[in-house]
Structure 1
Amino acid sequence: MKTLFDDDDVTLSAGDGCLTLSGQPDFDHASELAEVGCKWLGQHAEGIEIDLCGVGGASTATLSVLLEWQRHLARHSGHVTHLRLSPALKRLASVSGLDVLLPGLEVTDQASDSAPRPEVDAV
């Protein structure tokens, strides 16, 4: 695996047709992650796997980067064969309705994804 980005414990690595993102990316990282990922995708557009299982928490910034990578692939006749999201990102994609735009989507930990959530009292 080759490290493409490493800042504030956010790491983007690539190898064997797979982009792997880990850490807690936010909007401070999004632009550079999108750019670096698109540059790599431009050289590896066929049958890409994207693994976001190591992303802690749910972030719209991370989903924005993912959608930019997919737009880039679509413009260059590439495609995602497998997309793995952490349970938190899967929930965010589902709640926002973006899951239908994510081809190849897999969920890595079904047990965590369906775990009961504590009830919150209305204020």
Structure 2
Amino acid sequence: MLFPEELYYNEDHVWIEEDGGQATIGVTEYLQDELAEALSIELPEVGTELEMGDTLATIELRQGTLEIYSPLSGEVLEANQDLTDSPDWLSSSPYEDGWIVRLKLVEADELEDLMDADNYTEFVQGEN
């Protein structure tokens, strides 16, 4: 499994694309097996202030729910409302159509705690 080189990752299998003080956030392909069963997603409201570790989204799966936690602190600029109609995009298009939110970053130094693609690949291989 290859992970896009331009993204950051965390141990919760969340990807982050930083661009000029904004971050687009989604879940990695690694979670695809679980997310293939996604029935719905609950997204934050635009303007919501999130701290690192706050619940970013809740995904309802056939076997229960999965909480996605914010890897960064920031203000929600946009939530991908298309996911409410097509939660399967989380697994079928995790890096394109399946993004979850865009944040305005408030703590840019939090990016330093994230993994690059090589480190994330090693992390995933260590979990198997």
TM-score range normalised by the length of the shorter chain: under 0.3
TM-score normalised to the size of structure 1?
0.27
Give TM-score scaled by structure 2 length.
0.26
- In proportion to residue count, which structure has more strand? 2
Higher RCO (C-alpha under 8 Å, 6+ residues apart): 2
Q: Rg: which structure is higher?
A: 1
**Higher helix residue share:** 1
